[in-house]
Structures are given as structure tokens and as C-alpha cells.
Structure 1
Amino acid sequence: MSYSFEYIDIILLAMIAGFIFLRLRGILGKRTGFEGKAPPQFKEILNKVKTDNVRKINENFDDAAQKEFLKGAKIAYETIITDFSDNDNKIIASRPLINKEIFNQFNDALKARSNRGHYAEITFIGINSANIKEHKKIDKILNVTVDFVAEVVTCIKDKDKKIVSGDPEKIKKIYDTWIFSRDVTSSNPNWQLVNILT
């Protein structure tokens, strides 16, 4: 079965379009939460991707498919990490990228931090490496485990802007193992973060 670059390009463009739309909405101040409404262009692109073709792409998760997947995974990783520094306790751009359980865990952590009167300052420096550790298909669900190594500058401050933990002048290397998942029978090309391994 041959891998089709055409459909992966469409999927990647759709993910980028959705990401840019959500980022712009956050920057412009309309932070009312994700309402499940995709931009018109995004819907049009998705409608062009047939379920059968998406299924073929995912069943043939070869080297080329993995390379394209990692591009999207890196964008998702940076978006989610950066969102965790939001001081208004709203995960906006990340919401479509994470499942309900992970979303609730992040939300609980943000609320707990806020209740202590603390806030985070996170500067994302970059991803040193992102490698697929394993991928397995269970029934119609394809799970992909990715090892990330990234660099950030992070610190936690209290309401008086006193540093509680971390160092705003020091670059910290972080190691994460995340599991992304998607239904290969769905015409929706989006992956979601479903687990963070410790």
C-alpha cells in the first residue's frame, strides 16, 4: 500500500490553519473557551478528506507518515506546554489537542496553582528531539508514543512576584513521554494527547 503525500499535506495544512486561528483569537483577547467551531476553511479541507483515504494513511504508518506525524506532534507539544503558563486558568489553543481526562488534569493543576496565589512564567526555547518510541493499533484506535526532549525557562511566582520555584535566568531541559491517539476510521485527521507517562 503506497503512502499518499497529498492527503498528509492537506491534513497538515488543516492542523496549522486551526492552530493559527486559535492562537490569533487568544492574542486578540477573545478568550471565552473552545466552542467546538472550526473555521470555514478548516471544515472545507476536512470535507475533502475521505474516510477511506484517512484509514489507508493510518494503517500504513510508514517512515514518511511518521515524519509528517512528528511535525504535528511538535506543534502540539509546544502549544500545550505554553498554554500551561496562562495566568487566566484557561487552556484555549490546547483544548482540541487533548482528551477530556488530560484537560481535566491540566485544569485542576491550574486551579490549584491559582488558589495558592501562584502563577507560572514559561518561555519555550525549543525541542531538541522528538522520537516515536512505539506505535500500535488496537481495533480502530492508533496510539503513538513520543519521547520529547525540550528546553524551557520556567519559574513559579507568588502574588507579590516573589520566586517560589524555578529560575527565570536558567534554561531547563525537560524529558516527556506523551501518547497521542486517533480513530483511524474517522474523517477527522486530528490527533489528541491521551496520556503523559512519568
Structure 2
Amino acid sequence: MFDIYTIIFLALAVFIFIRLRSVLGQRTGRERPPYDPYSTRDVRAQAGDKVVTLPTRNAETMTRPAEAVQDRWKGIAAEGSPTASGLDAIAAADRSFDAKHFVTGAKAAYEMIVGAFAAGDRKALKGLLSREVYDGFEAAIKDREAKGDTVENKFVSLDTADITGAELRNNTAQVTVRFVSQLISATRDKSGNVIDGSPDKVTEVTDVWTFARDVTARDPNWKLVATEAGQ
């Protein structure tokens, strides 16, 4: 039986699929936007924009029995770790927060954003990213277009998506996720020559992304506020 998390994630996926159906399966591969958003980690999500959607509070959520503290983040974060403490703070401020369902939504957002960046779909990206991250992505797309370069990517698999950090700064929740995916990626110049990557080789790509939202806002949506290539 579908719960509210699954319904909202599916609705978001269908919405983005309609926008990106011509580029589904594409990925950015090793091409990275020339931007280091971790210098502005304390970025507040802009109300009204869309990204990883968590459910709004409802009677069922508010009356759900609390999990035992030692089991709350089992399989997500080690007991007593800084990440677990951060998740505790977020959950205390937002009773609707569920880390496992958040990861499910973050994985969907990862695929959507990577595909939109490869396709140069500014409209889709604008609704999924914070203003600072969007500016970095848009600059990279503009540079690529000016050179006449194109990106050809094929998504093979998304192997892992692990929460590696979480914190609550004032009213802003931030959750960092480490993604490991398998991609086939090639960048071609305007003459069609491969200038980066390979159209035949599968490459493992690691990305570390941070999502954020204002827990006091009525809008339950999260936005991507930071990206970097991981190890």
C-alpha cells in the first residue's frame, strides 16, 4: 500500500519525466559545473521551489508512536554519531521527517538533476536547485553551448545513496548524501569528436550533494544547495 511519501515522490517523478522524457537515461558523467557551493553551506531553501518532497504534517504522522532512540536511525547513521545527532535535531523540529524516505526522494532528485544538466534543461534545473547552485550549473551549460560541445550519457545504475551528514542551523535543515553511480559518458565537440570520457566505457561517479529546507515553512520541499565530486 502506498504511503504519502511514495505518492508525493511518484507525483514529482511523473512531473519531471514529462519535462525530461527526451533525455531520460542521460547523465553528466565526469563533467562538473565550475562551482564550489560548500563555501555557502548555510543556504536557506526558497519557498515555492521544488525538489525532494517530503509530506506535510498530518494527523497520522503526528500520532505515530516514537521509535526507540537506539533504533531510530538504524541502517542510516551510527548511534551517537554527529550525523545521528543532526538527524535527531531535524526530526525534533519536523515530526514528519523520515530519513529512509528522504533517501528515496534524494535518489530520484539525483537522477532528475543529472539528466537535466546533461540536456541543458534550465527550466527543470531552476525548480530543483537553490539560486547559487543553479547559477553554477547554468554557467557550465552556457560555456558548453558556446563551444558547441554536447554531452552523451547513459545511466547504468545508482549503486548507493548514503546520508553522510545532517544538521539543523536555526530553522534550516541540511542533509548531505553521498551518491555512487555507474555511467557511460562522453563529451563531443561541435565536430562530433570525443573530447572527454568514452561512449563505450562504464565509469563510476561519486557525488556528494546537500539538500536543505526551512522546517518552519509550510512548503515541505527540499532543494539542492551544495554539490561536489566525492572520493
TM-score (structure 1 length as normaliser): 0.75
The unaligned stretches of length 5 or more in structure 1 are: 1-5, 29-35, 39-45
Question: 1:152·1:173 contact (CA, 8 Å) conserved in 2?
Answer: yes
Distance 1:16 1:93 in 2: 16
Residue aligned with 1:190, SS: coil
* Residues 78 and 22 (structure 1), Cα distance of their counterparts in 2 relative to 1, 3 Å cut: closer
Q: Count the aligned residue pairs.
A: 173
Alpha-carbon deviation of 1:16?
2.4
- Tell me, yes or no, if structure 1 residue 191 matches structure 2 residue 222: yes
The one of the two structures with greater contact order (alpha-carbon pairs below 8 A, sep at least 6) is 2
CA distance in structure 1 between the aligned counterparts of 2:187 and 2:202, rounded to whole angstroms? 14
Instruction: Give the Cα separation in 2 of the matches to 1:22 and 1:13.
Output: 14
Partner of 1:126: 157
* 1:145-195 deviation line (CA, Å, top 9, x unaligned): 111111111010012211111100000001111111011112222111101
1:137-152 equivalence runs, <5 A: 137-152=168-183
Identity in percent: 29
| Runs of 5+ unmatched residues, structure 2 | 23-47, 65-87
Question: In the TM superposition, what whole-angstrom CA distance separates every residue of 1:19-39 from its partner, at most 9, and x where no partner exists?
Answer: 3123214448xxxxxxx799x
Distance 1:165 1:37, change over 3 A: closer
- C-alpha contact 1:15 1:190 (8 A) present in aligned 2: no
- Give the 3-state SS of the residue equivalent to 1:161 in structure 2: coil
Give the Cα–Cα distance (whole angstroms) in 1 for the partners of residues 49 and 220 of structure 2. Answer: 16
Q: Which residue number in structure 1 is paired with residue 103 of structure 2?
A: 70
2:198 is aligned with what amino acid?
A: D
Distance 1:92 1:174 in 2: 25
Distance between the aligned counterparts of 2:199 and 2:174, measured in 1?
A: 36
Matched with 1:59 is: 91
* 1:140 CA drift (Å): 0.8
Give 1:76-91 correspondences, 5 Å limit. 76-86=109-119, 89-91=120-122
| CA positional deviation for 1:115 | 0.7
Q: 2:131 aligns with which of 100, 107, 127?
A: 100
TM-score (norm 2): 0.65
State the Cα RMSD in Å: 3.2
Cα distance in 1 for partners of 2:160, 2:21 equals 28
> What is the CA–CA distance in structure 1 between the aligned matches of 2:10 and 2:217, rounded to whole Å?
19
Structure 1 residues 138 and 16: alpha-carbon distance in aligned structure 2, compared to 1, 3 A threshold: same
> CA separation of 1:135/1:192 partners in 2, compared to 1, >3 Å: closer, same or farther?
same
- Please say if 1:176 is aligned against 2:170: no
What is the alpha-carbon distance in structure 2 between the residues aligned to residue 181 and residue 125 of structure 1? Answer: 28
